[in-house]
Amino acid sequence: MNSAKLPVYSLYGENKKPTSKILEDIDVLIYDIQDIGVRFYTYISTLFYCLESCAENDISFIVLDRPNPIGRKVEGNMVQPGFESFVGLYSIPLRHGMTIGELANWANNEFNIGADLKIVQVKGWQGEYFDQMKLLWVLPSPGMPHFGTSLVYPITCLFEGTNVSEGRGTTNPFEYIGAPWINPYELVERLNAADLPGIRFRPVCFNPIFSKHKGIECGGVQTMIENRKIVNSFLTGITMAKTILDLYPDEFKWLKPVSEVHKHFFDLLMGTDQVRKKLEKGSKPLDIINEWERERLEFNSVRKKYLLY
């Protein structure tokens, strides 16, 4: 076949799952994409959709495995039934601590998908963070410009479901969060007083060149990780959200429900509506995350038999 005439199909638009027509002329589908290690980073949803389609169409699926750049740490809650979406297709923790090959094998077995799956394993990786591997960082997506972004991403991506900027349109996406109505010094004082493990905040002002609050100066904070071994991403993220909600109750908003599923995007990111509802009722972030500790431990127990490294 003339390579100039090879068709190219997007799996990030209307067709998120390969159709039978897309797959009809191939014998094997190869997945070779670098993941970040966080549930709502949608490359793994594409992985799961491809796995399902290959099983449904009797096509072999080969996953060229990649290291998880943020290591083996497992944090956060599971997706509750009814809250499955492209930012949380299967019920895994916010930070799953697995590679794409391990996730594919887990899904294929735990959900009886039955795909003809082959995993080409990584050599030499034993769970290290990316910056411990002495490799060059290649952007897996525009919003992930350097390795440090991947460390704060599981903390601050939840602001995509609010009217607070998650720093898109700046040179430090996900490190910066803010809004035109936030006093950065007031917010920093309150957040640093929370004494979150392994985290410090500094005041920032930024002017996004695109996305939320484009062209408007925002006050906010930069999230800086001092000790990644003790950081609790889920606790940090919802503490930040609750603090902003408490300080600016009239300005802070959850984005409107996604029309096709009638659910708040924040709830889809969280995999539940309970985080949002409990924050609105004044629940303490630590009490919220403790409710899901048993689920995390149960997943961790199942996960162990699928670890390849």
Residue 146 has pLDDT above 60, yes or no: yes
Q: Are residues 69 and 118 in the same domain?
A: yes
Looking at 93-146, list the stretches that DSSP marks H as alpha helix, in order from N- to C-terminal side: 100-110
Domain of 257? 147-291
pLDDT at residue number 134: 86
pLDDT at residue number 215: 97
Residue 225 has pLDDT above 90, yes or no: yes
Give the residue, 83 or 1, on which the prediction is more confident. Answer: 83
List the CATH number of the domain containing 56: 3.40.50.12170
Residue 220 has pLDDT above 60, yes or no: yes
pLDDT at residue number 1: 52
Is residue 297 very low, low, confident or very high in pLDDT (cuts 50, 70, 90)? very high
Is residue 112 very low, low, confident or very high in pLDDT (cuts 50, 70, 90)? very high
- Classify each residue of 218-251 as buried b or exposed e, where b means 16 or more C-beta atoms within 10 Å of its C-beta: bbbbbbebeeeeebbbbbbbbbbbbbbbebbeee
Q: Are residues 183 and 277 in the same domain?
A: yes
Q: Are residues 268 and 176 in the same domain?
A: yes
pLDDT at residue number 183: 98
Yes or no: say if 20 and 57 are a contact pair by the CB < 8 Å rule.
yes
Share of the chain above pLDDT 70, in %: 99
pLDDT at residue number 261: 78
Rounded CA-CA distance 154/232 in Å is 10
294, HSE (Cβ side, Cα atoms, 13 Å): 1
Q: Are residues 283 and 299 in the same domain?
A: no
pLDDT at residue number 14: 85
> What is the per-residue pLDDT across 151-199, written as a single tens digit (0 to 9) for each?
999 999 999 999 999 999 999 999 999 999 999 999 999 999 999 999 9
Q: Are residues 26 and 128 in the same domain?
A: yes
Q: Are residues 264 and 302 in the same domain?
A: no
Rounded CA-CA distance 136/130 in Å is 9
Residue 305 has pLDDT above 80, yes or no: yes
List the CATH number of the domain containing 169: 3.90.1150.140
Residue 308 has pLDDT above 60, yes or no: yes
Mean pLDDT of 209-232: 97
pLDDT at residue number 3: 61
Q: Are residues 88 and 160 in the same domain?
A: no
Q: Are residues 217 and 167 in the same domain?
A: yes
Rounded CA-CA distance 207/216 in Å is 5
Q: Are residues 108 and 176 in the same domain?
A: no
Mean pLDDT of 49-65: 98
Mean pLDDT of 204-229: 97
For the question of whether the overall pTM of this predicted structure is more than 0.85, the answer is: yes
> What is the per-residue pLDDT across 1-19, written as a single tens digit (0 to 9) for each?
556 688 899 999 888 999 9
Q: Are residues 83 and 163 in the same domain?
A: no
Using alpha carbons only, give the angle 45, 50, 53 rounded to the nearest 5 degrees: 125
Report the DSSP beta bridge partners of residue 254: 162
